[in-house]
Amino acid sequence: MHCVCIYHYGGPEMLTCTEAPRPRCGPGEVLVQVHAAGVNPVDWKIREGHLKEQLKHTFPLVLGWDVSGAITETGPGTSRLKTGDEVFSRPDLLRDGAYAEFIVIKESEVARKPRTLDHVHAAAGGVGSLAVQLAKTRGAYVVATASARNHDYLRGLGADEIIDYEHMRFEDLAPAMDVVLDTIGGDTQERSWKTLKPGGILVSLVSPPSTDTAAKLGLRQAFVFVQPHAAQLEAIADLVDAGKLKSNVETILPLSEAKRAHVLSQGGHTRGKIVLQIV
Ligand SMILES: NC(=O)c1ccc[n+]([C@@H]2O[C@H](COP(=O)([O-])OP(=O)(O)OC[C@H]3O[C@@H](n4cnc5c(N)ncnc54)[C@H](OP(=O)(O)O)[C@@H]3O)[C@@H](O)[C@H]2O)c1
């Protein structure tokens, strides 16, 4: 099969288009023919070796852990899914990813894709745009930070207030918040403490917020790292089919343009998703 892998950590030039044997599925696994693979920031972070302490990879490594496709083979001990099912997944980051024509995934990490979306759109959207919509489904009042070009987009997703972080200091404008979701880290994370009400929680996806600062300010903190989970994916598919969750695909590229996709992702201003279309 065609795939894109890396043999060493490094820049986008490490992404190599190559041929590899089609993987076979073992017990509890399914073989998925990849139709579309989402390109996420974690892909270039792994490519550059930023996560090599946490994730012990071996090379060559196929990148890409966000996939939509069709099951072509099921391993012994699988029962929930069958050949021909159209599925999506956020597979295990420790194993080969989806920049390939085929990927083997544990059945427990795979869900049927939303009926109302094609494969390109079934790769879940960028974190911020989904977080806004999920918070609205839970009845939250949502304040979002974004550059001006994204304000109409965020309003369309349901954000109640939008702060232009490029021209204003969000910590002076945000009302007292119960929860802050940090997808940026660094100085943005530090300044976020000021926006929380007593007992509020700062949740980061990028780096663990200081426990000392949280204790000193009477606040809480958490660091979350996404785990593959079929039941959660099924709940997301149901929200999509109910019209409550939309994803925006900014760029669609062929597998052979994985390098360009990484340069775009690393730019840090993707609206929604970058997708490699394989079928
Ligand atoms: N821990 C986990 O499990 C987990 C899971 C998924 C993602 N992540 C991490 O979360 C981060 C976001 O992921 P993603 O997929 O959403 O990335 P993405 O698709 O590249 O989105 C980046 C977004 O950040 C916005 N942005 C850039 N600088 C900003 C700033 N200073 N203040 C506010 N917004 C800013 C951009 O909007 P503008 O164009 O308006 O600036 C853009 O929409 C990445 O670091 C990723 O690795 C972690």
Closest residue by Cα to atom 20, ligand 1, is 268
Is the distance from the beta carbon of residue 55 to the nearest atom of ligand 1 less than 6 Å?
no
Q: Which residue has the tokens 């099951």?
A: 71
Q: Evaluate if residue 264 carries a pLDDT over 70.
A: yes
Q: What is the model's pLDDT at position 62?
A: 98
Confidence of residue 126 (pLDDT cuts 50, 70, 90): confident
Residue 48 CA to ligand 1 centre (angstroms) = 17
If you take atom 4 of ligand 1, which residue's CA is the nearest one?
205
Q: Is the peptide bond before 60 cis (omega within 30 degrees of 0)?
A: yes
Give the separation between CA 249 and CA 262, rounded to whole angstroms: 15
Q: What is the CATH number of domain 127-223?
A: 3.40.50.720
The answer, yes or no, to whether any atom of ligand 1 lies below 6 A from the CB of 146, is yes
Which of 125-129, 198-202, 257-261 has the least mean pLDDT? 125-129
* Ligand 1 atom with least separation from CA of 185: 45
**What span, in angstroms and rounded, lies between the C-alpha atoms of 88 and 36?**
9
Residue closest by Cα to atom 26 of ligand 1: 269
Q: Which atom of ligand 1 is nearest to the CA of 45?
A: 47
Report the atom number in ligand 1 closest to the C-alpha of 147. 40
Residue range 67-74: mean pLDDT, rounded: 98
Span 78-86, average pLDDT? 98
Please name the residues in contact with 235: beta carbons below 8 A apart, sequence gap of 6 or more. none
Residue nearest to atom 36 of ligand 1 (CA): 269
Closest C-alpha among 269, 273, 271 to residue 154: 271
Question: What would the mean pLDDT of 90-117 be, rounded to a whole number?
Answer: 97
Q: What percent of the chain has pLDDT over 70?
A: 99
Tell whether ligand 1 has an atom less than 6 A from the beta carbon of residue 269.
yes
**3-state DSSP call for residue 81?**
coil
* C-alpha–C-alpha distance, residues 127 and 131, integer Å: 6
What's the rounded Cα separation, in Å, for the pair 90 and 195?
32
- pTM equals 0.96
Pick from 49, 54, 2, 72: which is nearest to 256 by CA?
A: 2
Closest CA to 240 of 94, 128, 118: 118
pLDDT in tens, 190-231: 999 999 999 999 999 999 999 999 999 999 999 999 999 999
Q: 274 with 251: CB under 8 angstroms?
A: yes
Please name the residue that has the structure tokens 């079929």.
230
Mean pLDDT of 267-275: 93
Percent of the chain with pLDDT strictly greater than 90: 96
Distance 80 CA to ligand 1 centre (A): 34
Note whether 2-125+247-277 and 127-223 share their fold. no
Per-residue pLDDT at 125? 53
CB of 224 within 6 A of ligand 1: the answer is yes
Ligand 1 lined by 41 (C-beta under 6 Å):
yes
Mutate to test the pocket of ligand 1, among 46, 147, 157 (most ligand atoms within 8 A of CB): 147
Mean confidence (pLDDT) of the chain: 96
pLDDT digits (tens, 9 = 90+) for 38-62: 999 999 999 999 999 999 999 999 9
Domain 2-125+247-277, CATH among 3.90.180.10, 3.40.190.10, 3.40.50.620, 3.40.50.2300: 3.90.180.10
Residue 79 alpha carbon to ligand 1 centre in Å: 36
Name the token pair of 118: 């094609």
Our answer on whether the CB atom of 180 is closer than 6 Å to any ligand 1 atom is no
Q: Half-sphere exposure of 223 toward its Cβ, with a 13 Å CA cutoff? A: 9
Q: Phi then psi for 41, rounded to 5 degrees? A: -55, -30
HSE at residue 205, side-chain half, CA atoms within 13 A, is: 13
Residue 122 has pLDDT above 90, yes or no: no
Q: What burial class does residue 145 get, using C-beta atoms within 10 Å of its C-beta: 0-12 exposed, 13-18 middle, 19+ buried?
A: buried
Q: Give the Å distance between the CA of 231 and the centre of ligand 1.
A: 25
Poorest-pLDDT segment among 122-126, 247-251, 261-265 = 122-126
Nearest CA residue ID for atom 6, ligand 1: 127
> Would you call 268 helix, strand, or coil by DSSP?
coil
Q: Where are the domains of the chain?
A: 2-125+247-277, 127-223
